[in-house]
Structures are given as structure tokens and as C-alpha cells.
Amino acid sequence: AQSVSQHNHHVILSEAASLELGCNYSYGGTVNLFWYVQYPGQHLQLLLKYFSGDPLVKGIKGFEAEFIKSKFSFNLRKPSVQWSDTAEYFCAVNAGGGSYIPTFGRGTSLIVHP
Amino acid sequence: DAGVIQSPRHEVTEMGQEVTLRCKPISGHNSLFWYRQTMMRGLELLIYFNNNVPIDDSGMPEDRFSAKMPNASFSTLKIQPSEPRDSAVYFCASSQDRGQPQHFGDGTRLSIL
């Protein structure tokens, strides 16, 4: 069975700091990878996705993620965070070639101080 | 463009009562998911439908939980009888097809007293 691990449970940054959130998954086959964001009191929204092609994907609001197949990783980055980026971030994996059951990580809570 | 619509937004009821949560997926989406979110356990997948057929219900906690999808535009999640430990936010999500990004509803905040 596939699993997703997000290493950072809580991250606190000041505005303009750089951000990197780790995500590792365990599945040996083809995967679709996602990052979702959940702002306080709201539902999850898609930030970015990777299916194939260029392993560096760009999403909304200046976020990007890099798929490193050899490391089974899909880390999320942003060069300069803003107070409005305060939210919960979830990494998710769909194992391809099968039932595509989605698996979410436990989430990382990001607090950005103004 | 209407997103995933869930009702009710909030539900407060006493333990032992039946609770029914409703979801209308985005038109044209053929995959539907029910999740439960709590502080302790994070986001848990309860059940996943594809073309109205349950594909995986291994996340359904116990027999008190049941889910149906009678047609492509409607799904219900029922808890009977409800217990205080069922208190959580329940999200419904849909996707255009298997493996595609999910679109989440606003959730139902359920409190069982």
C-alpha cells in the first residue's frame, strides 16, 4: 500500500523567508502527485500537480514543487512567503495503473509572521 | 461554475441520532470521495466512488457508517447511531476522472453531543 510522509508538522516563518516543505511517498510504480492548501476554516484547494514531463512544476501563488523520482520526493517550495500563505499544506499521491486511490500526508501547518 | 456542494454546513445532534450528510459533485466528474478531518487523525479517506460504484471503502470506520451514490449527481454519508467520537469535519470531493485533481466542498462540521 502506498503511503505519504510529510516531515514537517509545524513550520513558523517570517515574511519574505524561503519555504521548503518535504514530502516523500512509498510506491514503486507510476504516480500522480499533488499539493493542496487549506486556509483557516476553508476547504482544500489544489496548489499544483505533477503527472509527467518536466519534474519542476509551477503552481498558483508562486509555489513550485520538484519531483525527484530517485528519492521518491515531491517537495514544495516558495522563495518568499507572505502572511497570507498561513495555512495547512497537504501532499497527496495517486498510484497510477490501478484504482487510483488517493493517499494524503498528515499535513504541515505553516504560520507566517508579518 | 458551481463547485462541490455539501449540506448541511453545520450539524449538531445528540449521540444515538442518525446523521445524513449530502454531497453534489461537480457535473461531469465521475469520481467522488468522502473524507473525515480531525486534529488527532488528520484527513482520512472514508470511501471512494467511481462511476457511482464504491471502489474502496476500507476507510469506513465501522458498520455505523454507510455511503451511497444513487446517481452521478448525488451522494450521502450516513452515520447511525452517531457517537461523540464521530465529531469532525466531513469533506466531499470530486474529480473529473481517476487520478485527476480533486475539488473539495466546504465541508460539514459535525458535532455529536
Substitution target from B23, B29, B43, B49 for chain A, most A beta carbons within 10 A: B43
Q: Is the minimum CB–CB distance between B104 and chain A shorter than 8 Å? A: yes
Query: Helix, strand, or coil here: A98?
Result: coil
What pLDDT score was predicted for residue A20? 97
Give dist(CA B92, CA B76) in Å, integer.
Answer: 10
Give dist(CA A64, CA A37) in Å, integer.
Answer: 13
Q: Do A44 and B102 touch (CB under 8 A)?
A: yes
Residue B1 has pLDDT above 70, yes or no: no
> CB neighbours (10 Å) of residue A55?
13
Q: Omega of the bond prior to B81 within 30 degrees of 0, cis?
A: yes
What distance in Å separates residue A58's CA from the closest CA in chain B? 15
What pLDDT score was predicted for residue A28? 77
Kindly report, residue by residue over A12-23, the tens digit of the pLDDT: 999 999 999 999
Q: Is the minimum CB–CB distance between B45 and chain A shorter than 8 Å? A: yes
Give dist(CA A35, CA B61) in Å, integer.
Answer: 26
Instruction: Give the percent of chain A with pLDDT over 70.
Output: 96
A–B: how many Cβ contacts below 8 A?
A: 49
Kindly report, residue by residue over B19-62, the tens digit of the pLDDT: 999 999 999 999 999 999 998 888 999 999 999 999 989 999 88
Q: pLDDT category, A49, cuts 50, 70, 90? A: very high
Give dist(CA B105, CA B92) in Å, integer.
Answer: 6
What pLDDT score was predicted for residue A2? 78
What distance in Å separates residue A45's CA from the closest CA in chain B? 7
What pLDDT score was predicted for residue B102? 95
